[in-house]
Amino acid sequence: MGCQPTDIDLVVNTHYVNIHELQFAYVPGYQSRVYNRHDFDHNLSYIPVRGDLEIAKGVHLLQTPGHTPGHQSVLVETSEGNILLTGDACRIREHWDGVGDTIMFDSEQYYRSQERMHSLRADVVILGHDGEAFKTYKTVYGT
């Protein structure tokens, strides 16, 4: 895409930066089942957030709890349309289509987050773990 690592000023992580997520990630005992401190407990410049937030012009963090207590997704407004990055709030196409089960901390929150993401009517939806979809993204957007 013609971009170098030095061109990147900000990285959004859908886990571990929301204040609710951080509080939950450090609960003793829960890390051994779901959270691995090796995944997130690094000497990085994390900026904990709370609620929905526009982090740059047209780049919105959206609270989409349910998979985990503080999960967030990202909506990017572009001149060609809106792009929704679901993260783990919607991992594969079947989940987006309302079929099958996924890992949920709170099923009621999960389904509200699903409704919220669908209501955005994004032009492009990038699912968190859909290998088949990734092949399409590479074709459309490059490597």
Q: What is the pLDDT of residues 21-42, one digit of tens each?
A: 888 887 776 666 667 777 778 8
Q: What would the CATH number be for the domain defined by 5-141?
A: 3.60.15.10
Per residue in 106-115, pLDDT tens?
899 999 999 9
Of the two residues 65 and 15, the one the predictor is more confident about is 65
83 and 76 in contact (C-beta within 8 Å)? yes
Averaged over 69-84, what is the pLDDT? 94
69 and 44 in contact (C-beta within 8 Å)? no
Torsion of CA 54, 77, 132, 37, to 10 degrees: -10
Domain assignments of the chain as residue spans, ordered by start: 5-141
Average pLDDT of the chain is: 84
Using CB atoms within 10 A of its CB, is residue 82 exposed (0-12), middle (13-18) or buried (19+)? middle
137 and 126 in contact (C-beta within 8 Å)? yes
Integer Cα distance of 133 and 135 in angstroms: 5
